[in-house]
Amino acid sequence: MYHLGLEEDLVQVVDERKQVDACVIDFEKAFDMVPHGTLMRKVEALILDKRVVEWIGDFLRRLIPVQFSDEPYLEKGTFLLYVQADEPETSYCIPGNVQHQKDYSRINGLPEGDEPLYNPALIKRLNFTQISSLFSPPISAANPGHSLLVRPLCRGDYDRGFLQLLSQLTHVGHISREQFLGRFSSMKACPDTYYVTVVEDTQTNKVIAAASLITELKFIHDCGLRGRLEDVVVNGDYRGKQLGKLIVMTVTLLAKELGCYKMSLDCKDKLIPFYNSLGYIDEPGNANSMTIRFDSSSIFKNPGITAKL
């Protein structure tokens, strides 16, 4: 396990007469030999940064080696904790083969130091060549166009206008930062379920399009996985530039990549042609979307049911 970048960093820190503590944890043997729940409890007890614990949990659940660059820096199953005593805020953990956290953000196109809702590498490996005929000029999640970035929702998107964008779709309400972050954490605590995906204009640092894939574990279809497309919206100033198609197809390909047997959506009638053009169809005899709405004054708002609270 030889790491040139790390060695360089250590030499530099020693040259600057600063203190640095490094600790390498090799979990490779533990993967198959101990229950992951037990392992995670030990990791939680050992590691202070909650994001690192989440990353390791995610890694154990998937056991997919995450390839961020051509050259793996560390062996699979190895996590490097890197603590600079006099600058705790720059201390970090290097999961697997990531050189350091700046690289992690840069390589994955994330806002520096921000935390994504799900693994951004999932977006990078989506195969847009199979649907290239949809886009003219050609764009994809990896190459969405000048200054644009397709990525998972991040914690910092509260300040990048994510909620204002959603308010162009429907009623959002007054959501405090705490509420937003709480909901973000709750979503993240449901592994492999919430894939809220956004397009950011990196020139203005604003989120300008969004769509969500929510996956649902089923017993039917051989314990299959169903995908639901939710909350599709493009900022009014950016409409008509293929971004609606791009964000919908990003989460649609993601659903396919994750093994969903189907993906479905509800939409207004006028948007049927838009979704038809992307491969979504009404299934005759099986295409009704029905709703029962609840409000505060009665249990059921719809006519026919009179039950009151």
Ligand X SMILES: CC(C)(COP(=O)(O)OP(=O)(O)OC[C@H]1O[C@@H](n2cnc3c(N)ncnc32)[C@H](O)[C@@H]1OP(=O)(O)O)[C@@H](O)C(=O)NCCC(=O)NCCS
Task: Tell me how far, at minimum, the Cβ of 245 lies from ligand X, in Å.
Answer: 4
Task: Tell me how far, at minimum, the Cβ of 189 lies from ligand X, in Å.
Answer: 27
Q: Which of 25, 21, 102, 26 is nearest to 68 (CA)?
A: 102
By CB under 6 A, name the binding residues for ligand X: 168-169, 232-234, 239-245, 267, 270-271, 273-274
Nearer to ligand X, 14 or 169 (CB): 169
Task: Tell me how far, at minimum, the Cβ of 227 lies from ligand X, in Å.
Answer: 15
Tell me how far apart the alpha carbons of residues 301 and 108 are, in angstroms, rounded to a whole number: 45
Q: What's the angle, vertex CA 92, arms to CA 104 and CA 8, rounded to 5? A: 80
254 membership: H or E segment, kind and range: helix 243-257
Nearer to ligand X, 98 or 255 (CB): 255
Tell me how far apart the alpha carbons of residues 238 and 201 are, in angstroms, rounded to a whole number: 10
- 156, two tokens: 């910092």
Task: Tell me how far, at minimum, the Cβ of 167 lies from ligand X, in Å.
Answer: 10
Nearer to ligand X, 173 or 273 (CB): 273
Place of tokens 């409409």: 239
Nearest residue to ligand X, by Cβ distance, number only? 244
Task: Tell me how far, at minimum, the Cβ of 203 lies from ligand X, in Å.
Answer: 18
Residue 224 exposed, middle or buried by CB count within 10 Å (0-12, 13-18, 19+) = middle
Task: Tell me how far, at minimum, the Cβ of 172 lies from ligand X, in Å.
Answer: 13
Task: Tell me how far, at minimum, the Cβ of 284 lies from ligand X, in Å.
Answer: 21
Nearer to ligand X, 13 or 263 (CB): 263
- The gap between the terminal CA atoms of the chain, to the nearest Å, is 64
Nearer to ligand X, 234 or 263 (CB): 234
Nearer to ligand X, 152 or 244 (CB): 244
Residue 124 neighbours by CB under 8 Å, 6+ apart = 108, 141, 142
Tell me how far apart the alpha carbons of residues 245 and 307 are, in angstroms, rounded to a whole number: 42
Q: Is 226 left (phi over 0), alpha (psi -120 to 50) or beta?
A: beta
Nearer to ligand X, 112 or 231 (CB): 231
